[in-house]
């Protein structure tokens, strides 16, 4: 059955696209609003950090909660709470009582709610489409989110002019409400697997230990987790230093429109990767696929670091973005394929905690430190080294399996 005919998937896909569009607008509007209200670069940085901090603080808790309750209900509740949370900003602005502290609190609360929502998604998607269609489903979802992110970032500037930054956030609140309504409609088309009763569930701490135990003792999944973290480290490094690289190496300064093209190239590459991955997974298993894609990513990163021609950088970033998304979705899909339904939230949220919560900010921090102390090309090179390390790791593990068949899983 084609994915578009799978009951419930179209509504879920649409909910992700609409909510993603609202969040893309907020990604631009919230830092602008923060600086407008406080005039503090530090506050802007804190608001940006709020997007990843909840993964470190609540990652294990969110996954456990998602595995202990109805995932669809959790997602609907968090969508409604996120809508209410975001809506407080335009309301406070209209009343003239908005403060920088409130903006920071909302950023943290919204990111935390999103984390709990995503913990539910990891098990929700396999419940809808089945594990045999996970690659196609995840590629479709990530591809759509990439498209709406580009569109949302593109229109955000105009919306800020028309509605002001605070008013623009009302659109994000509305998108969360629409997403919740679409998720409610999914219940009419899907038969959900039976959830364990409270009497059959282990304690909360034991539930956390179960997820960690499964992740640690599954050799291939453990490898994929390390690869995903190294991949996220490279993403944090490359995106965090792209503006500096453009200024110091490519000669793209200030308001030059070509800087937007560089960011769009990275995102557009992700769209290409979303179309490419299902075809690749029909020909290659998850680990063999990484044997080719990771070295390609490292090579493209090297091209970016060594060139001073913005046109070559544009092409290399586009293809690199495709390889990046292929690795990202491939590792996530494999995890969903091999993880039992009752562990999906715990295992995959832990993986996300290590990648988004640790890998991305650590990559940005290390790259920026090297840029200041050594130079921009040294900073950008951390992204290449990270992917090359992941490639060496995968090739080493695979070579050992070739030499010793039957070892590993």
| Per-residue pLDDT reduced to its tens digit, 262-301 | 878 888 898 899 989 999 999 999 999 999 999 999 999 9
- Distance in angstroms (rounded) separating the CA atoms of residues 405 and 127: 33
Across the range 145-162, mean pLDDT stands at 84
CB 91 within 8 A of CB 169: no
Q: Lowest-confidence range among 10-19, 199-208, 261-270, 369-378? A: 199-208
- Residues 116/73, Cβ–Cβ less than 8 Å: no
Is 192 a residue whose pLDDT tops 60?
no
Q: How far apart are CA 205 and CA 208, in angstroms?
A: 5
d(CA 226, CA 220) in angstroms, rounded, equals 10
| Six-digit token string for 324 | 């990046």
Domain chopping of the chain, boundaries: 3-188, 210-403
Residue 188: per-residue pLDDT: 58
User: Would you state the pLDDT for residue 356?
Assistant: 78
pLDDT of residue 319 exceeding 90, the answer is: yes
Q: How far apart are CA 103 and CA 44, in angstroms?
A: 10
Q: Distance between alpha carbon 206 and the CA centroid of its chain, in Å?
A: 28
pLDDT of residue 291: 96
Rounded to an integer, what distance in angstroms lies between the CA atom of residue 240 and that of residue 237? 5
| pLDDT of residue 199 exceeding 50 | no
* Two structure tokens written together for 32: 């602008």
pLDDT of residue 138: 92
DSSP code string of 112-166: HHHHHHHHHHHHHHHHHH-GGGHHHHHHHHHHHHHHHHHHHHHHHHHHHHHHHHH
210-403 CATH, one of 1.20.1250.20, 2.60.120.260, 3.10.105.10, 3.90.550.10: 1.20.1250.20
Res 255: pLDDT: 62
Residue 93's pLDDT band, with cuts at 50, 70 and 90, is very high
Q: What's the whole-number average pLDDT of the chain?
A: 88
Indicate whether 317 pLDDT > 50. Answer: yes
Nearest Cα residue to 349 out of 125, 176, 122, 172: 122
pLDDT digits (tens, 9 = 90+) for 29-55: 888 888 888 888 678 768 877 887 888
Give DSSP secondary structure letters for 227-265: HHHHHHHHHHHHHHHHHHHHHHTS---TT-THHHHHHHH
pTM of the model: 0.82
pLDDT of residue 278: 92
CATH fold of 3-188 reads: Growth Hormone; Chain: A; (1.20.1250)
One DSSP character per residue, 306-367 reads: H---HHHHHHHHHHHHHHHHHHHHHHHHHHHHHS-GGGHHHHHHHHHIIIIIIIHHHHHHHH
Q: Contact 240/368 with Cβ under 8 angstroms?
A: yes
pLDDT at 197 over 60: no
Contacts of 357 (CB under 8 A, 6+ apart): 52, 53, 54, 55, 56, 59
Give the Cα separation of 163 and 196 in Å (integer): 47
Question: Is residue 409 over pLDDT 70?
Answer: no
Specify the pLDDT at position 378: 93
Q: Is residue 407's pLDDT more than 60?
A: no
Least confident of 100-104, 183-187, 322-326: 183-187
Residue 334 is predicted with a pLDDT of 94
């Amino acid at each position: 059955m084609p994915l578009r005919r799978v009951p419930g998937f179209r509504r879920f896909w649409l909910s992700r696209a609409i909510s993603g569009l609202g969040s893309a607008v907020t990604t631009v509007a919230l830092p602008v609003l923060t600086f407008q209200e406080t005039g503090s670069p530090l506050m802007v940085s804190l608001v940006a950090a709020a997007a990843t901090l909840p993964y470190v603080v609540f990652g294990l808790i969110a996954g456990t909660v998602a595995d202990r309750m109805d995932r669809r209900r959790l997602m609907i509740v968090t969508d409604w709470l996120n809508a209410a949370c975001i809506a407080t900003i335009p309301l406070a602005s209209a009343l003239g009582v908005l403060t920088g502290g409130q903006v920071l609190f909302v950023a943290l609360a919204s990111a935390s709610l999103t984390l709990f929502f995503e913990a539910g998604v990891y098990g929700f998607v396999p419940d809808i489409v089945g594990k045999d269609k996970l690659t196609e489903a995840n590629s479709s979802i990530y591809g759509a989110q990439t498209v709406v992110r580009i569109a949302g970032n593109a229109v955000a500037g105009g919306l800020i002019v028309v509605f002001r930054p605070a008013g623009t956030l009302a659109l994000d609140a509305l998108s969360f409400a629409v997403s919740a309504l679409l998720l409610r409609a999914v219940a009419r088309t899907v038969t959900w697997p039976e959830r364990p009763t409270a009497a059959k569930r282990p304690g909360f701490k034991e539930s956390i230990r179960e997820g960690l135990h499964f992740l640690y003792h599954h050799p291939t999944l453990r490898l994929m987790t390390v690869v995903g973290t190294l991949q996220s480290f490279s993403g944090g490094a490359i995106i965090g230093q792209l503006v500096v690289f453009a200024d110091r190496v490519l000669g793209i300064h200030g308001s030059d429109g070509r800087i937007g093209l560089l960011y769009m190239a990275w995102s557009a590459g992700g769209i290409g990767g979303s179309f490419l991955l299902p075809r690749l997974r029909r020909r290659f298993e998850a680990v063999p696929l990484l044997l080719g894609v990771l070295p390609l990513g490292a090579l493209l990163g090297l091209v970016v670091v060594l060139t001073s021609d913005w046109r070559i950088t544009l092409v290399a970033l586009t293809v690199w973005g495709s390889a990046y998304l292929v690795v990202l979705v491939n590792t996530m899909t494999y995890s969903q394929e091999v993880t039992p339904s009752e562990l999906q939230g715990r295992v995959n949220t832990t993986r996300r905690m290590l990648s988004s919560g640790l890998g991305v900010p650590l990559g940005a921090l290390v790259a920026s430190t090297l840029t200041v102390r050594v130079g921009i090309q040294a900073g950008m090179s951390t992204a290449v080294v990270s992917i090359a390390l992941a490639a060496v790791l995968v090739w080493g593990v695979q070579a050992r399996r070739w030499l010793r068949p039957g070892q590993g899983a």
